[in-house]
């Protein structure tokens, strides 16, 4: 901590990037990649990661401009600042890639993920699962006498917390969509 009580990399709202580019601390970054919607583009992007030993924590792809034949790949990856910069540079060199944005450092962004959670239980555990689902504003999208399927939309941390609370109550299966993200503002 320095005299101003600001930690390095603490704020993405500052005009000054306080992150140490030589740091060995791994950071998680959300990248938004606008690509030409053509066969093989996703394979090229994924190949870049697998060929260099980088990990993808979350990956979503959807067409965003039907007339312009463009899709957006949103991926979450982690690495040192040098690795993240290398990933962004290499993504930008892939031919069908139009834009690469690092939403983690470019300013405020909105990140959401959809999760489906199947919880099996009876009696008090069933009532407790419903109570926690209500607290998290989860929707019950399927119900049987033995189980519920909850639908929850929120940040990845919110979905992680919900899963952690449901495990002792009978969480038997879950499915997550991956992060969808957009920058805030104009």
pLDDT tens digits along 45-71: 999 998 888 999 999 999 999 999 999
pLDDT of residue 185: 84
Asked whether residue 43 is assigned to any structural domain, the reply reads: yes
Regarding whether 115 and 169 lie in a shared domain, the answer is yes
- Res 150 pLDDT > 80: yes
- Given a cut of 50, is residue 152 above it in pLDDT? yes
**41, 74, 102 - which closes a domain:** 102
Q: How many domains does the chain have?
A: 2
Which stretch, 15-19, 66-70, 91-95, 116-120, has highest mean pLDDT?
116-120
Q: For residue 54, report the phi and psi dihedrals to the nearest 5 degrees.
A: -85, 150
| Whether residue 52 is found in the same domain as residue 94 | yes
SS3 letters across 83-96: HHHHHHHHHHHCCC
Q: Which structural domain, as residue segments, surrounds residue 61?
A: 27-102
pTM of the entire predicted model:
0.78
Say whether both 178 and 117 belong to one domain.
yes
Q: What are phi and psi of 78, to 5 degrees?
A: -135, 155
Instruction: Please name every residue paired with 109 in a beta bridge, in sequence order, or none if there are none.
Output: 183
Q: Are residues 137 and 75 in the same domain?
A: no
> Running DSSP on this structure, what letter comes out for residue 1?
-
CATH number, domain with residue 169 = 3.30.70.1150
pLDDT band at residue 186 under the 50/70/90 scheme: confident
How far, CA to CA in Å, does 169 sit from each of 85, 124, 125, 139, 160? 42, 9, 6, 17, 15
End-of-domain residue from the set 54, 71, 102: 102
- Structural contact between residues 100 and 128, judged by C-beta atoms closer than 8 angstroms: no
In whole angstroms, what separates CA 132 from the centre of its chain? 23
């Amino acid at each position: 901590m320095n005299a101003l009580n600001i930690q390095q990399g603490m704020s993405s709202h500052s005009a000054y990037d306080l992150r140490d580019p030589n740091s060995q601390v791994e950071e998680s970054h959300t990248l938004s990649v606008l690509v030409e919607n053509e066969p093989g583009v996703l394979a090229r992007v994924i190949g870049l990661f697998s060929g260099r030993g980088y990990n993808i924590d979350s990956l979503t792809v959807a067409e965003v401009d039907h007339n312009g034949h463009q899709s957006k790949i949103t991926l979450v990856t982690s690495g040192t600042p040098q690795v993240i910069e290398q990933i962004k540079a290499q993504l930008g060199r892939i031919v069908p890639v139009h834009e690469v944005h690092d939403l983690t450092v470019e300013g405020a962004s909105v990140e959401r993920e959809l999760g489906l959670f199947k919880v099996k239980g009876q009696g008090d555990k069933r009532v407790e699962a419903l109570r926690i689902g209500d607290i998290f504003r989860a929707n019950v999208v399927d119900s049987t006498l033995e189980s519920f399927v909850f639908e929850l939309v929120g940040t990845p941390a919110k979905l992680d917390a919900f899963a952690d609370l449901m495990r002792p109550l009978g969480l038997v299966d879950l499915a997550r969509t991956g992060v969808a993200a957009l920058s805030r503002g104009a």
